[in-house]
Amino acid sequence: MNNIFLIGPPASGKTSVGISLAEHMDLPFVDTDEQIAEAEGEGVVEIFNRRGERSFREIERDMIKSICEDHNSSVISTGGGAVLSSRTRKIMKESGTIITLLPSIRAIQTNVEKSHLRPSLLSTTAEALRSLLIQRMPYYLMADYVVSYDTESVGDLVSIVEKFVLNSGFTQNTYATHTNEVEKL
């Protein structure tokens, strides 16, 4: 089995779903943001603010490349903007299956409110989140599979992702909506 990459906007549940999926499938879990912070000796927000986005994206790309060289058959959670680099997208595509977790704006806001780790997102308005999603949507939709959701639990999302990974009746480039109320962008 190749690597499983979880991509999506900030606070989309990539880490929570990734940890649970890895445990459920008995695979190693790697969080690229954690790996970057450990290697650089400071948090990703500090790196981004101090060195700028371009430098951060280069560090991120190099870390993802290194992770792919060291890991096969792992669940890898990326930062929300990792997809902005064509070179990073290529590395992921060549190293595994890419799955986008695409929550509604409401789900992102709920996740941010529950998390103590994302204080910088607390003041982000729904309009700002919508703008970010619109900007990144073409990249998120390039994934092998896209899971759009609103109120599903981590366990529900893990079940959906696992079915994609095991290819249970799905073809690549499948877009699954598992919600009653998907917000329209």
Terminal Cα distance for the chain, rounded: 34
102: phi then psi, degrees, rounded to nearest 5: -120, 85
Confidence at 175, pLDDT banded by 50, 70, 90: low
Tokens 């879990």 appear where?
A: 29
Are residues 117 and 33 in contact, defined by beta-carbon separation less than 8 angstroms? Answer: no
Give the tokens for residue 154. 């981590």
Residue whose C-alpha is closest to residue 175's, from 101, 93, 84, 76:
101
Is the domain 3-178 a CATH 3.30.70.2740 member? no
Express each pLDDT in 17-55 by its tens digit: 999 999 999 999 999 999 999 999 999 888 988 998 899
Give the tokens for residue 177. 């909506």
Q: Which amino acid is at 60?
A: E
Residue whose C-alpha is closest to residue 11's, from 80, 97, 83, 91:
80
Give the tokens for residue 102. 């695409």
Express each pLDDT in 114-158 by its tens digit: 765 544 554 567 788 788 889 999 999 999 999 998 878 899 999
Prediction pTM value: 0.86
Neighbours of 54 (CB within 10 A): 9
- Please calculate the CA angle 105-154-84 and round it to the nearest 5 degrees: 50
